[in-house]
C-alpha cells in the first residue's frame, strides 16, 4: 500500500512540475486512489500519468489533463459542477475532492454502473459537498431536469471531444462560470477550450492541444 501511495505522491509532484500550481487541485489529485477506478490488472499503471482502457472503447483520462481541466474550471468549494463523460468516475472524484457537489453524465449505462461502484469503493458520497451523482444520458444537452434547480452550473467539464461547442452547455453556464472542453475532430489533436461567462459575454480561450475520445450524441 505504501508503495502505491509513494507512486501517487510522485505523480502529483510531476504534475505540479508541469505547471499545475493550484494547491487545492494538487491536493485533490493526491487524495483520490486512481487504482480503484481501473481494472485490477492495470492498478500497477495507475500512476504512470497516462490514459488507460476502461472497456467499451473508452479511457480514464490522463491525470495531468484532469488537473489542468479542474484548475481551468476555476472551481470554488460549494460550487455545483457538471461533468459530461463519467467514464471510470475518476475525474468526478477529483472534482468532488475540491469540496463541490458533482453531477456527472455518462451515455453508456454499464460504465455508469461501474463508476458508481468505483466511487463507492473510494468512499465518495452520493450527494452533498464532496459527493457525486452519476446519471445515464446524453450530456451534449447538459443536465437541466425540470424543477431540480441544478442549472445554471458554476462549472461544466466535458471529458469527450465535441466537433463544435454544444450550445446547451454554454446556455447552462452561471454568470462567472466556466465551461472547459476539448473541441475538434475525432482522431485528430483537439484544442482544450475554456469559455468563461461574464454577464452576457462569453469569452473563449485556447488552453492547448489534447486528445480525447469523441462526444457521441444518440
Ligand atoms: N472523466 C472520465 C473520462 C471518460 S472518457 C474518467 O475520469 O474516467 C469519456 C466518456 O464520455 C466515455 O465514457 C464516453 O462513453 C462518454 N461520453 C461520450 N459521449 C457522451 C455524451 N454525449 N454524454 C455523456 N457521456 C458521453
The pocket around ligand 1, CB under 6 angstroms, is made up of 58-61, 84-85, 87-88, 90-91, 105-108, 111, 138-140, 159-160, 213, 215-217
The confidence band for 1, taking pLDDT boundaries of 50, 70 and 90, is low
- In this structure, are residues 59 and 51 in contact, taking their beta carbons and an 8 Å threshold? yes
Mutating to test ligand 1, I would choose from 53, 82, 92, 107 the residue with most ligand atoms within 8 A of its C-beta, which is 107
Q: 205 in a domain, yes or no?
A: yes
> Active-site residue numbers?
61
Q: 128 in a domain, yes or no?
A: yes
Find where cell 452520493 sits. Answer: 126
The predicted structure's pLDDT at residue 2: 83
Q: 180 in a domain, yes or no?
A: yes
Instruction: Give the mean pLDDT of the chain.
Output: 97
Q: Enumerate residues 6+ apart whose C-beta is below 8 A from 126.
A: 119, 132, 133
Q: 54 in a domain, yes or no?
A: no
> What is the domain-level CATH number for residue 145?
3.40.50.150
Give, in degrees to the nearest 5, the angle at Cα 86 between 66 and 209: 35
Q: Which domain holds residue 159?
A: 65-210
The confidence band for 187, taking pLDDT boundaries of 50, 70 and 90, is confident
Q: Strands 58-60, 52-55: parallel, antiparallel or unpaired by DSSP?
A: antiparallel
What's the number of domains the chain is made of? Answer: 1
Find where cell 505540479 sits. Answer: 16
The predicted structure's pLDDT at residue 92: 98
Q: 103 in a domain, yes or no?
A: yes
Q: 204 in a domain, yes or no?
A: yes
- What number is the average pLDDT over the span 172-196? 96
The predicted structure's pLDDT at residue 186: 85
Residue nearest to ligand 1 atom 14, measured at CA: 85
Give this prediction's pTM: 0.97
Q: 172 in a domain, yes or no?
A: yes
80 pLDDT above the threshold of 90: yes
Amino acid at each position: 500500500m505504501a508503495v502505491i501511495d509513494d507512486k501517487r505522491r510522485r505523480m502529483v509532484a510531476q504534475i505540479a512540475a508541469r505547471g499545475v500550481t493550484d494547491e487545492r487541485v494538487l491536493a485533490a489529485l493526491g487524495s483520490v486512489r486512481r487504482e480503484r477506478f481501473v481494472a485490477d490488472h492495470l492498478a500497477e499503471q495507475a500512476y504512470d500519468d497516462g490514459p488507460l482502457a476502461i472497456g467499451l472503447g473508452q479511457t480514464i483520462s490522463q491525470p495531468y489533463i484532469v488537473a489542468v481541466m479542474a484548475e481551468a474550471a476555476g472551481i470554488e468549494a460549494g460550487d455545483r459542477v457538471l461533468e459530461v463523460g463519467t467514464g471510470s468516475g475518476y475525474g468526478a472524484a477529483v472534482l468532488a475532492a475540491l469540496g463541490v457537489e458533482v453531477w456527472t453524465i455518462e451515455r453508456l449505462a454499464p460504465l455508469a454502473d461501474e463508476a458508481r461502484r468505483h466511487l463507492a469503493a473510494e468512499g465518495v458520497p452520493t450527494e452533498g459537498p464532496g459527493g457525486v451523482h452519476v446519471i445515464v444520458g446524453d450530456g451534449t444537452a447538459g443536465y437541466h431536469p425540470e424543477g431540480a434547480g441544478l442549472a445554471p452550473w458554476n462549472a461544466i467539464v466535458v471529458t469527450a471531444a465535441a466537433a463544435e461547442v454544444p450550445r446547451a452547455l454554454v446556455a447552462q453556464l452561471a454568470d462567472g462560470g466556466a465551461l472547459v472542453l476539448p473541441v475538434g475532430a475525432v482522431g485528430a489533436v483537439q484544442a482544450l477550450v475554456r469559455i468563461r461567462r461574464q454577464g452576457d459575454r462569453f469569452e473563449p480561450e485556447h488552453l492547448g492541444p489534447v486528445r480525447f475520445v469523441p462526444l457521441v450524441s444518440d
